[in-house]
Structure 1
Amino acid sequence: MSMERPGAKTPPEFLQLAAHPLRWQLLATLADGDHRVRELAAHIAQPQNLTSYHLRLLRNAGLVSATRSSYDGRDSYYHLDLDRCAQALAESGAALHPALRRDAGQSDVPPAGRPAGSVAVLFVCTGNGSRSPMAEALLRRRTGGAVTVASAGTRPRRALHANTVRVLRELFGIDATGFQPRHIDTLVDRRFDHVITLCDRAREACPEWSAIPRRRHWSIPDPAAAEGTDDATYSAFRRTAAEVDTRVRHLLPVLAATHR
């Protein structure tokens, strides 16, 4: 009588993909932020065509996605779906033994420690009217104000986009009516532990600070670029707010580690 469970000879797809040294390096690099293929190729010291091949395998598995740069349409930024990775890891554990299911004995993974106020974060986009103020408001809300957080633009708008105010209020209960966009030059003398660009154009225009331990990029399209009335484009703002909130949620354990 065989004691082998069905499928035990074949490792789950995630383990097969992640076990390759180059793919693991790509996953680890993308876990830190969004990158273009030539940057990834340089980081893993491999030809660009080989890097693209491994990225294609990761994209086919739904672990990585690519978005066209809003600054230079010839470029694409690759993004790691951390939620999908968490799901794939949980499924891999369950395939080995039922006791390793994510929900075995607990409803969820214990939350990471809350970062303390000594951690300072700056979010940057072009207009400081949609993406970066969303990130600022959501990080402040998720940490209960326990971090020092600010946002700015390389070419700030006169005021927040009306849909930014609306989506923060309707989805998260945040009142952003008093927010005033500001230029990044007004913050160059302040110390930040993390500077995060949310806009491909701002990534190229963002100034260098004298001492920044971590700088990362989130390639998120501008919802304000959608054509139509505010009501017609509101769905784009909802999608952007949801993506920003997901990324902010994944940022929390990184900030906690920075403080430790």
Structure 2
Amino acid sequence: MDGSNRERPAFVRLAAHPLRWRLLTTLATGDHRVRELVALVGEPQNLVSYHLRLLRDGGLVTATRSSFDGRDSYYHLDLDRCADALAATGSALHPALRPGPRPEPATPSGSRISVLFVCTGNSARSPVAEALLRHRTGDRVHATSAGTRPQPHLHPDTARVLRDTFGIDIAGQRPRAVDTMRQHRFDHVITLCDKAREALPEFEHEPRRAHWSVPEPGTDHFHRTAADIDTRIRHLLPVLDTTHHEPTEA
């Protein structure tokens, strides 16, 4: 699904307005009457009352009659409700932001999810992603990689960084051509360089496609590149659990 078509979560719609955000942050420190809020935020009473009503309708703010003057009310921010709304907002943005333990990636049928990583030479970025996904998921995910114009050999720093930083041995692995993979069934195809994205062929089984724009690592930047890819892999794991087989472009 195109993310631009998703409706904004209710908390975002409510809190994004500047005045409502000021009211929320003011009420976060304690309960206030309307006239106090008017003075604190420096806005007319009718405007403050209007936005307080929207916050009440959204369930973030409640009002109780004053026990001193029954004609007056105190407004209270429901922090637990805000916490739940913030958590739901994070989940709506990305599955990795869902609170609590992350589920193990698995397809609805229980078979292994298959992921193909592609860069131009299949000598650095995509084999790093393949190795790290396999390392983090074991046999639960089938990970492989290929190149649109594969090099004869892996870059020597690829094997070195994976071995020294993550304890992963890929000695003996050889770059593969993405054209040899086109008839294989993949659930996800992820490109890691901009050239590969533009040159990526169509796949027979229409996998879900995504692009990670990772710069080609220089000799002194392999550790930084591997760390960037590892972060992306960690964020990919909950996505693998929540996505299905319909094709999309991320």
Check conservation: 1:118, 1:259, Cα contact below 8 A.
Answer: no
Is residue 2:174 matched to residue 1:174?
Answer: no
Residue number among 234, 240, 247 corresponding to 1:255 in the alignment:
240
Give per-residue Cα distances to partners, 1:184-206, cap 9 Å, x unaligned.
11111211111100010000101
Corresponding residue number in structure 2 for 1:113: 104
Alignment partners' CA distance in 1, 2:239 and 2:191: 16
What TM-score comes out, normalization by structure 1 length?
0.55
Is residue 2:125 matched to residue 1:140?
Answer: no
Alignment partners' CA distance in 1, 2:103 and 2:144: 22
Alignment partners' CA distance in 1, 2:175 and 2:207: 25
Corresponding residue number in structure 2 for 1:161: 155
Indicate how the Cα distance of structure 1 residues 7 and 213 shifts in structure 2: closer, same or farther if over 3 A, else same. Answer: farther
What TM-score comes out, normalization by structure 2 length?
0.57
Is residue 2:21 matched to residue 1:6?
Answer: no
Alignment partners' CA distance in 2, 1:167 and 1:258: 31
Give per-residue Cα distances to partners, 1:93-147, cap 9 Å, x unaligned.
xx94599499xxxxx8312223354311100000100000000000101111211
Give per-residue Cα distances to partners, 1:28-55, cap 9 Å, x unaligned.
xxxxxxxxxxxxxxxxxxxxxxxxxxxx
Identity among equivalent positions (%) equals 55
Alignment partners' CA distance in 1, 2:244 and 2:28: 44
Indicate how the Cα distance of structure 1 residues 254 and 4 shifts in structure 2: closer, same or farther if over 3 A, else same. Answer: closer
Corresponding residue number in structure 1 for 2:125: 131
Check conservation: 1:197, 1:203, Cα contact below 8 A.
Answer: yes
Residues 191-200 or 209-218, more deviating = 209-218
Give per-residue Cα distances to partners, 1:52-91, cap 9 Å, x unaligned.
xxxxxxxxxxxxxxxxxxxxxxxxxxxxxxxxxxxxxxxx
Is residue 2:240 matched to residue 1:246?
Answer: no
Corresponding residue number in structure 1 for 2:183: 189
Give per-residue Cα distances to partners, 1:203-228, cap 9 Å, x unaligned.
010101133241010000010xx3xx
By how many angstroms is 1:170 displaced? Answer: 1.1
Corresponding residue number in structure 1 for 2:75: none
SS in structure 2 at match of 1:150: strand
By how many angstroms is 1:157 displaced? Answer: 1.0
Indicate how the Cα distance of structure 1 residues 203 and 111 shifts in structure 2: closer, same or farther if over 3 A, else same. Answer: same
Higher radius of gyration, 1 or 2: 2
Alignment partners' CA distance in 2, 1:239 and 1:97: 39
Code of the aligned partner of 2:142: T
Unaligned runs of 5+ residues in structure 1 are 11-94, 103-107, 227-232
By how many angstroms is 1:258 displaced? Answer: 3.5
Check conservation: 1:152, 1:184, Cα contact below 8 A.
Answer: yes
By how many angstroms is 1:259 displaced? Answer: 6.3
Indicate how the Cα distance of structure 1 residues 216 and 7 shifts in structure 2: closer, same or farther if over 3 A, else same. Answer: farther
SS in structure 1 at match of 2:144: strand
Alignment partners' CA distance in 1, 2:30 and 2:148: 53
Check conservation: 1:125, 1:153, Cα contact below 8 A.
Answer: yes
Coordinate RMSD, CA, aligned: 3.0
Is residue 2:116 matched to residue 1:122?
Answer: yes
Indicate how the Cα distance of structure 1 residues 117 and 241 shifts in structure 2: closer, same or farther if over 3 A, else same. Answer: farther
Code of the aligned partner of 1:220: V
Unaligned runs of 5+ residues in structure 2 are 1-25, 32-36, 41-77, 87-98, 246-250
Alignment partners' CA distance in 2, 1:215 and 1:141: 22
Alignment partners' CA distance in 2, 1:111 and 1:210: 31
